[in-house]
Structure 1
Amino acid sequence: MAQDGSSQLTNVCFLASFLWLSHSLQRHSLIDQPRLSAFLLLSISGGAAFVASLFSKWLPGTDGRFDSEAALKGSQSFLPQRPRRFYLPCIIVLIVVRLEVLHRVSYDFQCSTEGIEAFLPLLLAAYRFFTHRAVFVASDELEDMWGSPLEDLKSWLMSSPIVLLFSTVLFSYGVFLLGDFTQGSTYFCSAFTDQSSYIIFLQWIGVFIDAVVIVMAWRVLSWARTTKSRLRTLSAILLAASLAASVPWTVTRLFNHRQIIGHHPFRGIGSLYIFDVLGTGLIIATLIISGALLTYDSTPLEPIAIVTFFSGVLTSFHHILSIGTYKQTSIFKPLAVLTIISVGFTIFMYASNLRSVLFVRRAFIVFLIVWMIGASTLYAYLQKTYLRRHPVDDLIYNGRVEADRWLRHASVSTTLKLAVAEYKERHHGRDPPPNFDKWFEFAQQQNSPIIDKFDRIEKDILPFWGMKQQKIRDGLEILKDRPGVGIIKIADGEASHNSHSDSSQKFILDEAVSMISKFAKHLPDMSIAINLEERPRVLVPWDDMYKFKMAATRSDFQLFPSRLHSRETGNSVAMDNINGPLKIQAESSAQPYVPAKEFRQLQTLACPPGSPSRSGVHWNVRDFCHSCILPHSQEQFLQDWPMSLDPCHQADIFNLHDFFTTPHRLELYQDLLPLFSRSKTESFNDILIPLVRPDITVEPNDLDFAQKPTTVFWQGDAHDLQTVTSQALHGGHRHRLVHLVNNASVTDKVSMLLGVGAGSSSRFRYEDTRVRDVNEPLPFQFSFTSADECEDANCQLIRNEFGLQPRSPALDNRFVMLLDSADGPPASLVTTLLSNSVPVLSSVFQEWYTERIMAWVHFVPIDIRFHALHSTMAYFTGLKGRGTGKLNGREQLTEGRREDAKWISEQGRKWAKKALRREDMEVYMFRLLLEWGRVVDDERDKLGFVIS
């Protein structure tokens, strides 16, 4: 390969663009519209190739390869046979077919196999092997019949196509083996509805098409006389392929008209998509153009082999650096794979006569490879692979300390004077709302342990301080006639509601009015809108919420409220932008249908710019996303429960919960409306309010903890699963849980923290364990059930996939798994806390009391991905004497921490009786409505409680 300055730069551009693409495409907005994206990317690449041809004099090959006899002879060793006429249309058709194959594989990506693309160099090497032509160079010198054996061996190594093929097999297989180290997601490939063998077959077809397109394009471009003509030909191919790729996009577009009804356009999605298209298009263009130039005096095998080698080495380094953690449990395997890749590529360099890689000479590359293997081996064996203390020990201890600190911070005030001073300190000098003394007296009468800490109320109401009072009332008027919305009116010290024919909705309003009536005489006149459905419904883009919050938190507003009116004139432009007319169509009475894909897009708009969820789509459902759990986890275990509820740093969560993977069938408001809801996810802007649910069917249980069997129990009604979409069937949180325990395949593995040794010498180590093997000793009982006849299609699908079991009482077990429904949080959490059982909670929703319950103190938290489910429950239940007693070929001696489980059950029971009572709901409701009554008052800037 030529190594002048321009060629070196071309090498760098080719490798850098490939590595950038392989990294950035893991999370990208382009995947939402794959066919349109393919058309645009090909168009941009074709245009970029044409522009590059205008500057061809600065690129390799500008003088032409056939301008002299010497140049022709020098290129004979790599110049292929002349291309056939049908090559160009074949390339275009194959590109379109390849894109459709990629689209089909991506649709069922959970069934694909990682690493098959690593065999692309092998296919190119096989083509070179079967088309190899020995080049005979005439010479007048007599051949030395007694040459050195070492030189003969060297000559054979550098010219034998067998050695070249063998070396390619070696490092391609090594890169393929790296796929075994990747931890799989619990997003599963169904043996009942999916065809995994077909998807894998398509992967091989795709790689074969890649090889054919590369070879045919190489043969076409190699016979171009100059770099300019080569780039013009490449541009024509790409532009023609883009036109051909537009055909399937146009066809699918004609048959897919479903849009979001009654909602704003996807503000922000358009600009993000355009940015991704332009940026990715230019990078792909750089990759294609530099790749075409690199084959000027070589074959496409060399550049493809180089990028495969570099990607394999970087991935190997990543696994070596993770040795000793749950991400990489073996020391030997990543070192062995790194050695295989390195040895194979070293032989390849000599067999292909590759004298340098990028601008680094071959001898130095060999030196770096030897040093790299030695340093990696030393690093691996110096890593600590054993833990002296189980991480859950520390999580429970830290949780207890944090719970005590939180309670002290939440109950500082013992007198009204202290409560007022504490309120002002926590609210930047703002006085408490009127009748704060009445609330304080009520809270003391109800023996509320929480006096000072109502962060949830403050966070929910804060944006409305940045909205004019009239706009808030306009929003209430819009909500009054909406389906699924009830109105509670407080006037003259009395509370009432508009009657609903639906018995369950009427029950919710009756209970709310019953609570409010106890303190309604201390509330100002107002009306509030109650969301009677389970799903939250106010989803405002982050940009709009940011403006409201900035308007609400201006220093002159908070510290000197009396000066607000004098400042409003100067800020009228900014305030008008966020307090303009509400755009929701009041006449819309039909229930809008928001498909899951668009629903996810709307939720990502609620995340701040630059956050992982806002930046793109996490389409790789097959592999576990380690970076997604990093902010809220300690190794494998969930550490920060509140942070785990925020979807903005964990883009993969939109594939792993029924709330995100099922269509939204209610009106979804993108304007900030004053709607009160029982629960919500962090992305939504509903105001949380305590509401009593009419559908709590779990009966209380007074059995002692010791009397209950050591079972981790969960059952879900198959009729509660709504529409079972393809994404929900494979990624819904309840489906994944049951599949993980009951339907795991023989190849499914889980990284599990197992004990090594016993007694004082016991240690812990992460090990890869077959899911089927570890499910046997752990006392899991997870199933779907059906109280009614299972006749509808969705229920039958669930029965065929997972089976149905008779209904059993959950609270008879020591550990009760609590999962969300598709619309809201589990209804039985408080009941479970009161039952002497340990709640094992996996949720994405928040309620009014979420900030009051502490993970590892009142309940055991489980990440919604379930990757630490086995390790966590093995800590409490133990493995000794369970099942066969053996895992990974050895006897398990780890005993369960029964006392820790009992302590959590006791703490949860005590705290529920103390802080999660109906009386506590009333105290929270009173405080919430006092704050809200001031926000909607026209004189809110002058209102406040001051001790006389």
Structure 2
Amino acid sequence: MDRKWLLFPCGLVTGTGYLSTAVDTSFAFDRPLHSIGVLLLFSGLTILAYDAWTTPRRPSTLTNQYRLIPLDDGAGRAVTRDPSPTGPIGARARASDSRKRLILACLLLAIICSRLAVFWRVQRDDECTSPTALVLIPLVLALYHSTLSPSGCMVDFWPDHIFYVLSRGTSRYILPSLLLCVGSFMVSWRAGPLRSSFICPITTSAVTTIPRLQFFGTFLDCAAVLIIFWFVDQEALSNQDGPTESFDVSKLHVLGVTIIASSAALAVAGFIAFWAEPTNREWFLPLHYEYLRHLLRLVIVIPCMIICFFSTARINGVMSTSLLMCFSAAFTGVFWAFRTGVESTFPPKATAELVVYLLVLTVALGLYVLVDSKTENRLSSRAQFRLGRYQALLLILLLCIIWLGGFGYQFSRRRDLTNDHPIAILVKSADSAHERWLSRVKRSRTLLEAVRNYQDRYSRDPPPGFDKWYEFATSRDSAIIDDFDNIDLDLMPFSSLSAAELRKKTGVALAEGSQIGGIKIRGGKAGFVMNGNHTESWVMDGTIRMMENFVDFLPDMDIAINLDHTPRIGLPFSSLRQADSQRQIYPERGSINITVDFSPDRGSTWDDVPVDLQQSHGSLSPHSHPGFSSYGFLSCPPDSRARRESHWTKRNLCTSCAAPHSLGVFVSNWTTSADPCHQPDLSHLHGFYLGSTAHAITHDLIPVFSQSRAQGFADIRFPSPWNYMDKEKYSFDEKHPDPPFIKKENILFWRGADTEATSTDTSNHPWRGMLRQRLVHLTNYETNSHAILLPTRRGTFAYHLDRPRTIMDELSTTVDIRFTNISNCGMADCAAQMSEFGVMPDIDFRQHWRYKFLFDTDGAGPSGRFIPFLRSNSVVFKSSLFREWYDGRLAAWKHFVPVDLRLHDLFSSLAYFGGYGLNEGSKVTMEAKEKAAEKITRESKVWSEKVLRKEDMEIYLFRLLLEWGRLTDDRRVELGFRMPHKKGAGGKGS
């Protein structure tokens, strides 16, 4: 046999392995029905092309045709010659066969269409799905194969008969298929991905309906596979039923046409849905580059796999080739399970169980190789199975690799176990990192030191007025003088634009931007202009009040203030890279030795905002809600994971997405924990990406000042007027005291409304993925198992899986997290959320001080409670996508407890600080680390009172506006505050 034939089974194995790992992260399934329709079309065309390529040309003038009859079809059953094609018997046989093909083709078309409908319904609520039963398909195929016509070889001795049934007859594939199904099911059930916190509502029928639909879908899959098996059996692939007259068609031809017809039916249904429901059009039309790229991959891979399957089946038989695909998928799955979590102890994997399942699959593979090595249709008294030399060596090598990989994985897992709890490591690391940060940003003692530190840090001279700012900061006892890296980071992209461009873009934003307020500073006085009627005028009032104490020292300027709670400037990666490459380069220090002040005629250079402030619906006008593909990963590098993968399965927890910023289950890098570039699953885990509200977000580099921003956005952050105006203030009295941490109630507490985003899409139910809703559901109604890190008898720590209700019963800390209002939604979604969550009465804000642990999370933007919480005697648990002006001043694990946006670490953190299993009869116990918690409380209170005061907000804004003043001055390269030379200074300039 030509060794080139091996390319086909190798290609089939490779393609199966690729699909097994790539489908769950393919952008092609962002639009699943689009993709399935295209793939069905190309699959049908591939089958037709293969049939046309392999069908021999037969002279139509011959009335009597003869063909070779193989003794065995390669699938273990004898082949008999069909009736002669001539005469009335042959005509009746052809007519009967044609009717059978037509009936089965129509049935297959109906099954495919029904399966697509089931898939569409299940996909809408895939967070409610259970482990798939598709692993049963190999066993179903083997059972069907065993019912085919036997070889006619009978044995009388019953041991020989059993041996024949298990190893030589048409039933010889049953035992390998059974073991394959058992091993695959156990791997998917016991070693499958953990469940995410995405909500499967317990008050809807989806909890029971979706698993039933899954089972029905599996039934349809089996029926479709059996019909396809009939169409592509060995006789069809060998073209023994090929046409003898011009009006006959082959089985493969009928199959190809049927699959193309199913694609056409899906296209017709989509066309009707497109025109019948206008809301569907937004979902149908946007096809981004990543989607098309991944769809193209599948369009190439799947037709190639079809060709490889047919070519392999022509030699090995259809049943044998089908099992080859199934084994490829099964071993890919088990090795993928071994691979996941090798670098750390999370996610938890039952290593011993995985080795057992690997053993089962290996035995099944060995049986498959043995029973498939002999296909002749005869029986000896004792069959002698003889593998070829190279095949035997290959099998031995494969088994060695499997077992070495399994034991190596088990060793790596044992090596990762330590006696130290990860939180203890993170707390110690946070203390060290904060001390290093303090040493780098040490407070300058004199103006000269401040100027030199500024020059060393930012490679330019300070802006004019820096001496006034320094006096302002020191008079208010600022703990930070030198570190204002956030200002430099935020303004860097805008330095790529000229001062005239910045002034013009500011004027455009004020004139046509929705939810944009303007502040004009002229002659040391600030006033504001509002673009239309707004309910957020407090933002402008608070900002002007914040600058009252230093506005006299500011140059004339205009400022565009974002009145929305969410950021507005989402820049593509190419724009960010271009801005970075074109940023302003300032002259070397010492090239100019005198202070150059702001231009005296600055006020006249700013464009006047029209009096009527008519909006022209420009780039900052509402146009769409911020989908993840439009504004989430757009700023990420092309090789980032978010640009390469789509985590479209809402059911599964993407542990590999959290791994880059985590130590086990815990957040180890607070900054990168909000970076979407390595976290494609954030697309359905936060209201900012899920909300139905139209947001005015632009891809243009427009200077807009916002209270916060998400990763990838270019808004200029400034201190929130919400905190400055004490909208939620830390205060206490006799009725609402703030006792010491040790005397507080051992409760994790949160109350709030559904303000994260608006949910009006009743088909996708975006509220199910929003952070606040997931938090309330996880701590009150979640029924799926979650992981928690607990001590073991060996003195180490390991993850245990249990239901949240069981976990919370064992936690020493009570969890009290509920909604107080649900109104940010449409009618149907509001009713669904009210039914799922219910609401509790509002409370006095000062009631929070009763509890040891307070949870803080995003609303429409960043929470305004965080600073008051830090000043209390409670430990703050925080989960947030947004970053504010003080980012970098606070250290996670030193001043607050970070919680991942997936919330999968919440119970483990709470068990560490609050205790676990201290009730009688508990099998696992963990003492509460109250001293560690009290230390965090003390550190956060003291530090926030030093660096997060109102005075610190004023100091930050003052310096920010001086830098903004320099950027918008036509002489910005020359501008700068410079210390005069002093005699006796050794000739050194500043």
Deviation at 1:685, TM superposition (A): 1.7
Aligned counterpart, 1:446:
476
What is the percent sequence identity of the aligned residues? 28
Farther-moved stretch of structure 1 (587-596 vs 190-199): 587-596
- CA deviation profile, 1:90-120 (whole Å, cap 9, x unmatched): 4344333333322222221111122322111
Amino acid at match of 2:294: D
Deviation at 1:678, TM superposition (A): 0.5
**Which of the residues 359, 369, 379 maps onto 1:339?**
359
**Which of the residues 866, 869, 875 maps onto 2:912?**
875
Compare CA radii of gyration and give the structure with the larger one.
2
- Separation in structure 2 between the aligned mates of residue 284 and residue 628 of structure 1, nearest angstrom: 27
- Separation in structure 1 between the aligned mates of residue 410 and residue 795 of structure 2, nearest angstrom: 21
Structure 2 residues without counterparts, runs of 5 or longer: 57-64, 83-96, 243-249, 376-384, 593-613, 733-737, 981-990
Aligned counterpart, 2:298:
280
- Separation in structure 2 between the aligned mates of residue 220 and residue 506 of structure 1, nearest angstrom: 71
Equivalent runs, 1:347-496 vs 2, <5 Å: 347-353=367-373, 363-364=392-393, 367=396, 371=400, 374-375=403-404, 378-379=407-408, 382=411, 383-384=413-414, 386-411=417-442, 413-427=444-458, 429-481=459-511, 482-496=513-527
**Which of the residues 157, 167, 180 maps onto 2:176?**
167
- CA deviation profile, 1:511-556 (whole Å, cap 9, x unmatched): 2112223222322211001111212122222222221222116x69
Aligned counterpart, 1:662:
691
SS of the residue 2:559 aligns to: strand
**Which of the residues 838, 844, 859 maps onto 2:881?**
844
Match status 1:819 vs 2:839: no
- CA deviation profile, 1:694-728 (whole Å, cap 9, x unmatched): 68346534322122112111122257764365443
- Separation in structure 2 between the aligned mates of residue 99 and residue 740 of structure 1, nearest angstrom: 32
SS of the residue 2:884 aligns to: coil
The 3 A distance-change label for structure 1 pair 789 and 260 is closer
Deviation at 1:915, TM superposition (A): 0.3
Aligned counterpart, 1:34:
32
Deviation at 1:671, TM superposition (A): 1.3
Aligned counterpart, 1:568:
none
Aligned counterpart, 2:320:
302
Aligned counterpart, 1:119:
136
Aligned counterpart, 1:578:
none
**Which of the residues 755, 780, 784 maps onto 2:814?**
780
Aligned counterpart, 2:771:
733
Amino acid at match of 1:928: L
Amino acid at match of 2:776: V
Aligned counterpart, 1:204:
215
Match status 1:917 vs 2:949: yes
Equivalent runs, 1:226-265 vs 2, <5 Å: 226=239, 236-258=257-279
Amino acid at match of 2:711: E
Match status 1:651 vs 2:680: yes
Farther-moved stretch of structure 1 (635-644 vs 410-419): 410-419
Structure 1 residues without counterparts, runs of 5 or longer: 59-65, 138-142, 563-583
SS of the residue 1:38 aligns to: helix
CA contact (8 A) 2:692 2:757 kept: no
Aligned counterpart, 2:572:
541
Deviation at 1:360, TM superposition (A): 9.6
Match status 1:507 vs 2:538: yes
Equivalent runs, 1:32-71 vs 2, <5 Å: 32-47=30-45, 68-71=67-70
Equivalent runs, 1:398-797 vs 2, <5 Å: 398-411=429-442, 413-427=444-458, 429-481=459-511, 482-498=513-529, 505-552=536-583, 586-587=616-617, 592=622, 594-595=624-625, 598=627, 600-693=629-722, 696-697=727-728, 699-701=730-732, 702-718=738-754, 722-723=758-759, 725=761, 726-745=764-783, 748-757=784-793, 762-778=795-811, 779-786=813-820, 794-797=829-832
The 3 A distance-change label for structure 1 pair 311 and 695 is farther
Deviation at 1:86, TM superposition (A): 2.9
SS of the residue 1:15 aligns to: helix
**Which of the residues 831, 839, 844 maps onto 1:804?**
839
Match status 1:928 vs 2:960: yes
SS of the residue 2:21 aligns to: helix
SS of the residue 2:360 aligns to: helix
SS of the residue 2:305 aligns to: helix
SS of the residue 2:787 aligns to: strand
CA contact (8 A) 2:688 2:756 kept: no
CA contact (8 A) 2:808 2:814 kept: yes
The 3 A distance-change label for structure 1 pair 359 and 459 is farther
- Separation in structure 2 between the aligned mates of residue 193 and residue 490 of structure 1, nearest angstrom: 56
- Separation in structure 2 between the aligned mates of residue 94 and residue 832 of structure 1, nearest angstrom: 58
Deviation at 1:462, TM superposition (A): 1.0
Deviation at 1:211, TM superposition (A): 3.1
SS of the residue 1:609 aligns to: coil
Farther-moved stretch of structure 1 (371-380 vs 655-664): 371-380
Farther-moved stretch of structure 1 (586-595 vs 453-462): 586-595
The 3 A distance-change label for structure 1 pair 11 and 67 is farther
The 3 A distance-change label for structure 1 pair 907 and 74 is closer
- Separation in structure 1 between the aligned mates of residue 886 and residue 829 of structure 2, nearest angstrom: 34
CA contact (8 A) 1:705 1:836 kept: yes
- Separation in structure 2 between the aligned mates of residue 86 and residue 69 of structure 1, nearest angstrom: 29
Deviation at 1:654, TM superposition (A): 1.6
CA contact (8 A) 1:561 1:941 kept: no
Deviation at 1:674, TM superposition (A): 1.1
Amino acid at match of 1:660: Y
The 3 A distance-change label for structure 1 pair 189 and 311 is same
CA contact (8 A) 1:600 1:660 kept: no
Amino acid at match of 1:815: F
SS of the residue 1:856 aligns to: coil
- CA deviation profile, 1:456-486 (whole Å, cap 9, x unmatched): 2112111111123333223222221433211
The 3 A distance-change label for structure 1 pair 365 and 234 is farther
Equivalent runs, 1:85-234 vs 2, <5 Å: 85-129=102-146, 131-136=147-152, 154-160=163-169, 164-179=173-188, 180-182=190-192, 183-222=194-233, 223=236, 226=239
- Separation in structure 1 between the aligned mates of residue 870 and residue 226 of structure 2, nearest angstrom: 66
Aligned counterpart, 1:140:
none
The 3 A distance-change label for structure 1 pair 92 and 557 is farther
- Separation in structure 2 between the aligned mates of residue 605 and residue 34 of structure 1, nearest angstrom: 22
CA contact (8 A) 2:756 2:772 kept: no
- Separation in structure 2 between the aligned mates of residue 434 and residue 51 of structure 1, nearest angstrom: 75
CA contact (8 A) 1:231 1:289 kept: no
Pairwise CA RMSD:
3.6
Amino acid at match of 1:869: L
Amino acid at match of 2:323: A
CA contact (8 A) 2:765 2:829 kept: no
The 3 A distance-change label for structure 1 pair 359 and 772 is farther
Deviation at 1:85, TM superposition (A): 2.5
Aligned counterpart, 1:576:
none
- Separation in structure 2 between the aligned mates of residue 358 and residue 247 of structure 1, nearest angstrom: 52
Aligned length: 891
SS of the residue 1:850 aligns to: coil
CA contact (8 A) 1:542 1:608 kept: yes
The 3 A distance-change label for structure 1 pair 644 and 795 is same
- CA deviation profile, 1:64-101 (whole Å, cap 9, x unmatched): xx974244765684569965223334434433333332
Farther-moved stretch of structure 1 (162-171 vs 896-905): 162-171
SS of the residue 1:742 aligns to: coil
TM-score relative to the length of structure 1: 0.86
Amino acid at match of 2:461: D
- Separation in structure 2 between the aligned mates of residue 361 and residue 849 of structure 1, nearest angstrom: 66
